[in-house]
A and B are shown apart, each in its own frame.
Chain A
């Protein structure tokens, strides 16, 4: 099981407040608990301030081909939005982010693991269910799974010709992140405060 939980209000407002957003809700696979009510409430609030250009509510947004068709249908609404707000697990956010490569794509949820079956997502992207989703700081590319050291404060000195020191077939995750942030005009995010990982989060959820 996975649990996706809405990030706190303050974070969500800093992402979506005063911006035109397009919302994508993933009701997910059967293995994901999705915060239906809270998500609906958030959307209502954002709509009341007149800043939602459109929305999709569906399942398996991590299926790239399926998702591509749906996004095509909403091309204009997405085009007029400043950002796309995705309510899903980390895999879904990364799928959307890869497809809408010149649009800021933000994760509205954190993803936590729960004991049990982990879902049947077509895993082209990986979510480590770390419970403190970094995708909003890293252009929708996960530093936990795309970097072999899971570094959250930038590139180490081990990248050569764009490849990771551990695996010469693997692209350096932080070079990908840098390129993507440059593409969406958000290199300023690299100046965010020092990130210190919190490995206690899954326990907090269980409590």
Chain B
């Protein structure tokens, strides 16, 4: 099923991401996904997230699909040139994978292979354009495809709490112009900033899913504040996590905070995208507390 169909039906669309392991044994990951994520609309599979080499997104999407889940194939432009990207898009179509999330990708220097060549032959916008081209039956080289062209739901990302939000909005507009049909956002901890962002973003008329990372610990929040672009965890939230160490360790405080952010932002967006980072088991409780 295409995720865009759920938006069209007016559903508040819930997705969550899973990160493939560094290895090819995914029984545990599949089990967790089936247990905790089968009730949601679709499951994103990250593409060598943070430039750390792992099992591929495409193969993991296929495995999830075989288990009856709806995968979203995340594709970055860091590791493949346009030939490889287009080829993988056709492979996705062969496997019946219908949902894409198209990103530029982190730089190779941020990951565990800093010696690798950063490709960036295309970027998020030109990759969306490439998908549109393929959907019209022609590749980026201008050559015709054989047979019925593939059709995908084309997603993209945006960073609403970025300190350069106007530059982000300009990029978002280019993504829409290139053919993006829905957006998932970077993690949000500041609902007021998100709401202001949505005031400006609604002119593009595309559904936006609020990005959520469950805050696991004070250290994680401090790390994100210092190192992760577009994320700022306010000091009051960090204080909340400090207050009761046991409650925080058990994930109770983090889920409460995340649920509160979702409740505050829900009237302004069309869905939520949860990046649980290993805490997939907490997704059902988070959704319950968020009133979804």
Which A residues form the contact surface with B (CB < 8 A)? Answer: 148-162, 165-166, 172, 174-175, 178, 187, 190-191, 193-197, 199
Which one, A149, A178, A187, A193, contacts B107 given CB within 8 A?
Answer: A149
Interface residues of A: mostly helix, strand, loop or mixed? Answer: loop
0 or 1 for each of B86-123: is its CB under 8 Å from A? (1 = yes)? 00000000000000000010110110000000101111
Interchain CB contact under 8 A, A196 and B162: no
Q: How far is the CB of B44 from chain A (nearest CB, A)?
A: 15
C-alpha gap A174/B74 in the complex (Å): 24
Q: A162-B163, A162-B164 are in contact. Are A194 and B129 (CB under 8 A)?
A: yes
B264: chain A residues at CB < 8 Å are none
Q: Does B186 contact A (CB under 8 A)?
A: yes
B170: chain A residues at CB < 8 Å are 154-155, 178, 187, 190
Interchain CB contact under 8 A, A196 and B126: yes
Interchain CB contact under 8 A, B230 and A157: yes
A190: chain B residues at CB < 8 Å are 170, 173-174
Q: How far is the CB of B32 from chain A (nearest CB, A)?
A: 27
C-alpha gap A49/B126 in the complex (Å): 38
Q: Does B140 contact A (CB under 8 A)?
A: yes
- 7 A-B pairs besides A153-B178, A157-B168, A194-B178 with CB distance below 8 A are A149-B118, A152-B123, A153-B125, A155-B164, A175-B164, A178-B166, A194-B126
Q: Contact size class for B?
A: 35 or more
B168: chain A residues at CB < 8 Å are 155, 157
Q: How far is the CB of A143 from chain B (nearest CB, A)?
A: 10
Interchain CB contact under 8 A, A149 and B129: no
C-alpha gap A152/B178 in the complex (Å): 14
Interchain CB contact under 8 A, B174 and A154: yes
C-alpha gap A28/B163 in the complex (Å): 40
C-alpha gap A191/B204 in the complex (Å): 13
Which one, A159, A165, A193, contacts B164 given CB within 8 A?
Answer: A159
Interchain CB contact under 8 A, A149 and B126: no
Chain B residue, CB-CB nearest to A182: B166
Interchain CB contact under 8 A, B120 and A191: no
C-alpha gap A172/B173 in the complex (Å): 19
Interchain CB contact under 8 A, B174 and A153: yes
Chain A residue, CB-CB nearest to B120: A149
Q: How far is the CB of A192 from chain B (nearest CB, A)?
A: 8
Instruction: List 6 tightest A-B contacts by C-beta distance, closest first.
Output: A153-B125, A154-B171, A160-B229, A194-B129, A190-B170, A156-B104
Q: How far is the CB of B95 from chain A (nearest CB, A)?
A: 26
Question: Which of A149, A175, A190, A199: most chain B CB closer than 10 A?
Answer: A149
C-alpha gap A197/B127 in the complex (Å): 12
B57: chain A residues at CB < 8 Å are none
A156: chain B residues at CB < 8 Å are 104, 123-124
Chain B residue, CB-CB nearest to A177: B167
C-alpha gap A199/B230 in the complex (Å): 31
C-alpha gap A135/B197 in the complex (Å): 29
Q: How far is the CB of A182 from chain B (nearest CB, A)?
A: 9
- Could you tell me which residues of chain B, from 158 to 212, have a CB within 8 Å of some CB in chain A? 158-159, 162-164, 166-168, 170-171, 173-174, 177-178, 186
Interchain CB contact under 8 A, A160 and B163: yes
Q: How far is the CB of B187 from chain A (nearest CB, A)?
A: 11
A175: chain B residues at CB < 8 Å are 164, 167
Q: Does B228 contact A (CB under 8 A)?
A: yes
C-alpha gap A162/B120 in the complex (Å): 21
C-alpha gap A185/B228 in the complex (Å): 32
- Could you tell me which residues of chain B, from 233 to 286, have a CB within 8 Å of some CB in chain A? none
Chain A residue, CB-CB nearest to B163: A161
Which one, A149, A158, A165, A194, contacts B174 given CB within 8 A?
Answer: A194
